[in-house]
Amino acid sequence: MDYQEDLKKAVEVLQNGGLILYPTDTIWGIGCDATNPNAVRRIYELKKRADSKSMLVLVENEVRLNSYIREVPEMAYNLIELSDKPLTIVYPGGKNLAGNLLAEDGSIGIRVTKEAFSRSLCQKFRKPVVSTSANVSGEPSPANFGEISEKIVKGVDYVVKYRQEEMNSPAPSGIIKLGVDGQVKVIRE
């Protein structure tokens, strides 16, 4: 299956409320439509994860942030532009997303992905895509596709073919939390 077919199939599954297993700018992720609470709930169930533990979402560019954050702190744009590695920013006041994705304080982690497949996926789908590590909660995150458990592979509706053979172990993203009052808290470097 070629890249475009793979992408098309993944988008169809997302549009139908399904779950996908896909490569991102960090490790392989389980994804779904970030605006669909039923799809989000399915991920929590698959990961056996408490829904009080929020998951992050991917978008293809910073312009999209305004659609999903009440007020994007100006500093966010500089951080995204200057970051030379994947950076997840936790923003206050998420909006237009599935309610069960937001943390108890209403915040949401969003990463602007620069990786080819996940970026194209967000562009074609035209909505943010959930990205959470492809493992059952509490188990180690898989370094590459070959390390993803059978339970996770069988628990999704579509497994992307692109990049399955890669054996490198990408690092997780940095995480920074921004407050409305200009507060900055580094959660993971």
**For 91-107, what is each residue's pLDDT tens digit?**
999 999 999 999 999 99
158: CATH: 3.90.870.10
Dihedrals phi, psi of 89, to nearest 5 degrees: -110, 130
Mean pLDDT over residues 30-56, rounded?
Answer: 92
Helix residue ranges per DSSP H, the chain: 3-15, 37-47, 65-68, 74-82, 116-125, 150-155
Number of domains within the chain: 1
Dihedrals phi, psi of 26, to nearest 5 degrees: -125, -115
79 Cβ contact partners less than 8 Å away, ≥ 6 residues apart: 87, 89, 176
Could you tell me which of 1, 17, 27 has the C-alpha nearest to residue 129?
17
What is the pTM (predicted TM-score) of this model?
Answer: 0.95
For the chain, the average pLDDT equals: 94
Structural domain of 80: 3-188
Q: What is the structure's pLDDT at 172? A: 83
Angstrom distance (rounded) from CA 1 to CA 162: 9
How far is CA 128 from its chain centroid? 8
Does the pLDDT at position 51 exceed 90?
Answer: no
Structure tokens at 34: 């970030």
Angstrom distance (rounded) from CA 180 to CA 26: 27
Q: What is the structure's pLDDT at 49? A: 86
Angstrom distance (rounded) from CA 149 to CA 154: 9
Which tens digit of pLDDT belongs to each residue from 175-185? 999 987 778 99
Mean pLDDT over residues 13-30, rounded?
Answer: 96
Mean pLDDT over residues 75-88, rounded?
Answer: 94
Which tens digit of pLDDT belongs to each residue from 141-156? 898 999 999 999 999 9
DSSP secondary structure code for residue 145 in this structure: G
Mean pLDDT over residues 33-38, rounded?
Answer: 98
| pLDDT tier for residue 54 given thresholds of 50, 70 and 90 | confident
The amino acid at residue 56 is: L
Instruction: Tell the residue number behind the tokens 């297993």, with chain if given.
Output: 21
